[in-house]
Structures are given as structure tokens and as C-alpha cells.
């Protein structure tokens, strides 16, 4: 299934894509895609819905992040070798972990507003993992069984705040709107292998990132297991898994985002995003 949320900011309703790729409204049956609706039994119930009988979502309707009520937004850094190299960092021996503020979560096509005085805005296409069941001290072999599905993410960053403000990455990652998610959540039954997804990001039509999740240093199962060793992952939690090479910071000289720029992202079954910088 491809689950989505549609409507104005703060008023999103649940929906899903039908077999023809048409968004259908599920609000008559489901209150919202809150964490409890990501449990296996609830997802199985959703899969039994005849989407062709559900109301169509009008074309052009805004899409929000595909899950509501997120309680933890966790990020993995330097998870692609070439990205670590372009950043001038050593290949990590263990996953690099930081957090993004929940208030950074945005819809897949919402505008991205740079903070006042920003001169170092950057992009990072990533695979996002959505947790379905509580995970605490789980093995790598069991990890994917705790995942509800996957979606596309852009880990928008302000590099001056990230690097030059005492080295705490979350400062440059947590501005409002710096975490676009969606357009939909693809459940694991439709995407059993998260390590074979093409990732492409362009800025103003020029390709900047082109890679695959196959190039991750730490694959999804290892990341989920690792995180669960020192924190409890809760249903609805979002884990973004690192970005490949091609970010603005790694260019010589860097070509950071400017107002008016347009970022377009694509990831095969995870769909596409488009954000204008304002």
C-alpha cells in the first residue's frame, strides 16, 4: 500500500493510492495515520479496503507528511562513503546519530524557508524508515519486522548552523520545514528490500545527487537494530538513513541554496518531491 495524508497544514486527512495511482480519501474509515495505525493488524485491515469505492482526492490537493503523531525524528549521518569523503570526514565505524526537531517535519512539496541571513542552505535526499512496532534491543535479523514502511525525505540543512555553531548538528537540521517527508509511505509488503532504491535530487533541473540505497555503509536493518540498543523506537518514529554524495557543501566552491531555487527529488516507488526555496 501507499498511504498518504492530504489537506491543508494541520488539517490533513488519511488517504491511499489506488491501483491506477489516484489518491483516495479514507477519512470516513480512518481518523488519521497515527502511530497505532501502523501496527501490522491495522495495516492488514487497511489493505482490505476497496479503494475504488473511496472518494477521489482532487488533483492539486496539498500532501502532508504521510504519518501523524511522530514522537521521535532520528537521523543517521555520513552513511555513504563518497558523502563522507566529500565532507572531509572519516568513514564511521558505527552509525553517526543525531536528531531533527519534530517541528521540522513538512509535506513533500511545501516551500522551504531559509532562516534569516542564511548563506549555507543545503539539500540531502534520503530514505526514511517508519517504525511500526516498538523496538528495544532487537537483532539485525529481526529489525525489518519492526518497520511499517518507507518514504522519501529531504534532510534540508543549514551548514553554518550545523558546523560553525559549536558542532551540534541538530542546530542546522531543525528549522521549521527542514524535514519534508512523502509523498506517501510504502508499506513493507510492497517494498521488502530497502537496499535497492534509486535516489536522485536535482536543483533547478541540474542533477546533484544520483545514487542508490545499495551504497549505504550501514543498511536499514543494522541501523534499526543499532538504535534499539540504546533507545526504544516507538511506532510512528521516523529514521532517515543518510545521504549520498552531491551535496552543496561538497562542491568546489560550494553552491548553496538561494531563494527561488527549486529542489526536485525522486526515489522510484517512493515517489517524488518538489520544494521551492523562499
pLDDT digits (tens, 9 = 90+) for 180-194: 999 999 999 999 999
Residue 266 included in any domain: yes
Section 47-55 average pLDDT: 97
Q: Count CB atoms within 10 A of the CB of residue 253.
A: 6
Mean model confidence pLDDT for the chain: 97
267 — pLDDT class (breaks 50, 70, 90): very high
Residue 162 included in any domain: yes
Residue 107 included in any domain: yes
Task: In whole angstroms, give the CA distance from residue 79 to residue 98.
Answer: 13
pLDDT of residue 167: 77
Tally of domains in the chain:
1
Domain range spanning residue 147?
68-276
Name beta bridge partners: 179: 105
Task: Mark out the alpha helices in the chain (DSSP H runs).
Answer: 40-47, 81-86, 140-143, 159-163, 170-173, 220-230
CATH code, 205: 3.90.850.10
Residue 55 included in any domain: no
Task: In whole angstroms, give the CA distance from residue 211 to residue 200.
Answer: 7
Task: Mark out the alpha helices in 179-230 (DSSP H runs).
Answer: 220-230
pLDDT in tens, 76-134: 999 998 888 888 888 899 999 999 999 999 999 999 999 999 999 999 999 999 999 99
- Residue written as cell 533507545? 231
Q: Which three cell numbers stand for residue 134?
A: 516498538
Over pLDDT 70: what percentage of the chain? 100
Residue 184 included in any domain: yes
Q: Is 85 left (phi over 0), alpha (psi -120 to 50) or beta?
A: alpha
Task: In whole angstroms, give the CA distance from residue 19 to residue 253.
Answer: 45
pLDDT of residue 241: 98
Q: Which three cell numbers stand for residue 1?
A: 500500500
Task: In whole angstroms, give the CA distance from residue 207 to residue 140.
Answer: 34
pLDDT of residue 206: 98
pLDDT of residue 87: 82
Residue 176 included in any domain: yes
Q: What angle do CA 190, 195, 200 make, to 5 degrees?
A: 95
**Does a cis peptide bond (omega within 30 degrees of 0) precede residue 253?**
yes
Q: With a threshold of 0.85, does the pTM exceed it? A: yes
H/E run at residue 97: strand 96-99
Section 140-163 average pLDDT: 97
Q: Count CB atoms within 10 A of the CB of residue 58.
A: 9
Residue 100 included in any domain: yes
Residue 48 included in any domain: no
Amino acid at each position: 500500500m501507499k498511504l498518504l495524508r492530504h489537506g491543508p497544514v494541520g488539517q490533513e486527512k488519511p488517504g491511499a493510492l489506488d491501483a491506477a495511482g489516484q489518491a483516495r480519501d479514507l477519512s470516513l474509515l480512518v481518523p488519521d495515520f497515527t502511530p497505532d495505525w501502523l501496527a501490522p493488524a491495522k495495516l492488514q485491515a487497511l489493505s482490505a479496503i476497496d479503494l475504488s469505492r473511496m472518494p477521489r482526492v482532487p488533483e492539486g490537493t496539498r500532501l502532508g507528511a504521510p504519518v501523524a503523531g511522530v514522537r521521535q525524528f532520528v537521523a543517521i549521518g555520513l552513511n555513504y562513503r563518497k558523502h563522507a569523503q566529500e565532507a572531509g570526514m572519516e568513514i564511521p565505524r558505527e552509525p553517526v546519530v543525531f536528531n531533527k526537531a519534530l517541528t521540522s517535519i513538512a509535506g513533500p512539496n511545501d516551500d522551504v524557508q531559509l532562516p534569516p541571513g542564511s548563506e549555507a542552505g543545503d539539500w540531502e535526499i534520503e530514505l526514511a524508515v517508519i517504525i511500526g512496532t516498538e523496538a528495544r534491543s532487537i537483532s539485525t535479523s529481526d529489525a525489518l519486522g519492526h518497520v511499517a514502511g518507507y518514504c522519501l525525505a529531504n534532510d534540508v540543512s543549514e551548514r553554518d548552523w550545523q558546523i560553525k555553531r559549536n558542532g551540534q548538528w541538530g542546530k542546522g537540521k531543525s528549522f521549521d520545514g527542514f524535514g519534508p517527508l512523502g509523498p506517501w509511505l510504502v508499506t513493507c509488503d510492497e517494498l521488502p528490500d530497502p537496499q535497492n532504491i534509486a535516489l536522485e535530487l536535482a536543483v533547478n533541473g541540474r542533477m546533484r545527487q544520483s545514487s542508490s540505497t545499495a551504497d549505504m555503509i550501514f543498511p536499514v536493518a543494522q541501523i534499526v537494530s543499532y538504535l534499539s540498543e540504546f533507545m526504544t523506537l516507538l511506532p510512528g518514529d521516523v529514521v532517515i538513513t543518510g545521504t549520498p554524495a552531491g551535496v552543496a557543501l561538497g562542491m568546489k566552491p560550494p553552491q548553496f541554496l538561494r531563494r527561488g531555487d527549486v529542489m526536485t527529488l525522486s526515489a522510484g516507488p517512493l515517489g517524488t518531491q518538489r520544494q521551492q526555496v523562499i
